[in-house]
Amino acid sequence: MQEILDRARGLLQKILELQEHLDLARKATRLDQLQKELADPGVWQDPGRGQRLAQDAKGLREEVTTWRKLESRAKDLAGLAEMAIAENDGHLESELSAELKSLEADLGKQEVDLLFSGPYADHPALVSIHAGAGGTDSQDWTEMLMRMYMRWAEREGFGGELLDESPGEGAGYKSVTARFTGKRAFGWLRAERGVHRLVRLSPFDQAHRRHTSFALVEVIPEIEADEAIEIRPDDLKVDTFRSSGAGGQHVNKTSSAVRMTHLPTGTIVTIQNERSQIKNREMALKVLRSRLAALQEQQRAEQRQELKGAHQSNEWGSQIRSYVIHPYTLVKDHRTGFEVGNVQAVLDGDIKQLMEAFLRWDAGRDDETARPRRSAKA
């Protein structure tokens, strides 16, 4: 029972510290102000303003209520444990132990939510994978990675659709692009940006020798039309052609696929997943806008690094994770040190633990779960 009390007190302290970090007291005050404003019938004379205030109030109410409930549960748990110890009553131990585990799990979920603080965390994600050195093996690896992300999306309730594919010679893809939708799609998938390395016995080598393959994963948030990036019609060159899938099989016989080139930057986007040329044009413009926004942000980041005197190239130099199938089995994230022994489970989409470890590491959280460790599946 003493352990339950100690852990409950620790949770309460952690909850109070996180409330302070979130500035919850100020948010509660702001919520009170919004509720008073919304109670005034005059606020709805401007429906747009009324709706914005109502939306702000809803978000604040959910956040304040969630953290106040966690605080109340921790206080109640500690109080009951103290009472049980004082009265030497062990009958409640199993019940309090269950509540402790439930509270720890619920707090853990809220801590993960705190990791999604970027402006585009809730946006859809555009994922492009490019085969690197390694020929057919790397093209096959590119397809394996896209399959991994599609399986992850299925497991976690995200939507995933291929937008464009450039078939490899003999297997896989030279490059492939997909769009993922769902709550915090970009927030999660940004953990995957960088070079992914595969070590295995090659199925394409007659001598069955060990090969190392590389693929570059690019992840950008989807940007809507009203979000800062303006594209002039005169800056675009649009070509249409027949859609074709892997192996050269025609998906349809009309010129519905769209290749859109942004002339000032040379950025090219190809979309061929829809049978409608109009829909492919709309998606191509959306992807182009997102890539231009990412390019703009990259240029700003490079300028900041140059000012600091620490600029270095990204792209193929930023190897983030290794997947070793031979001579042993191990997935290791080189940024966080997080390791998983069950490579097949990872390739089948079980990557949430790797993503979460990155998010904790990236946020600089001083939490034990952010330190290098071996998964229970290892």
Cα separation of 305 and 296, whole Å?
14
Give CA–CA dist 28/153, Å, rounded: 35
Contact 193, 172 (CB under 8 A): no
| Bond from prior residue into 47 cis (ω within 30 degrees of 0) | no
Tell me the per-residue pLDDT of 282-299, one tens digit each, with 9 for 90 and over: 888 888 888 888 887 777
Calpha distance 170→149 (Å, rounded): 22
Question: CA 61: distance to chain centroid?
Answer: 25
What pLDDT, in 10s, does the model give residues 92-134?
Answer: 899 999 999 999 999 988 888 888 877 788 889 999 999 997 7
Taken in order of first residue, the domains within the chain and their CATH numbers are 2-113 (1.20.58.410), 125-225+315-370 (3.30.70.1660), 233-306 (3.30.160.20)
Which stretch, 52-66, 329-343, 355-369, has highest mean pLDDT?
329-343
Question: Does the pTM of the predicted model rise above 0.85?
Answer: no
* 327: preceding bond cis by omega (within 30 degrees): yes
**Alpha helices, H only, 114-235:** 135-156, 185-189
Query: For residue 88, is pLDDT > 90?
Result: no
First-last CA distance in the chain = 32
Burial of 81 by CB count in 10 Å (0-12 exposed, 13-18 middle, 19+ buried)?
A: buried
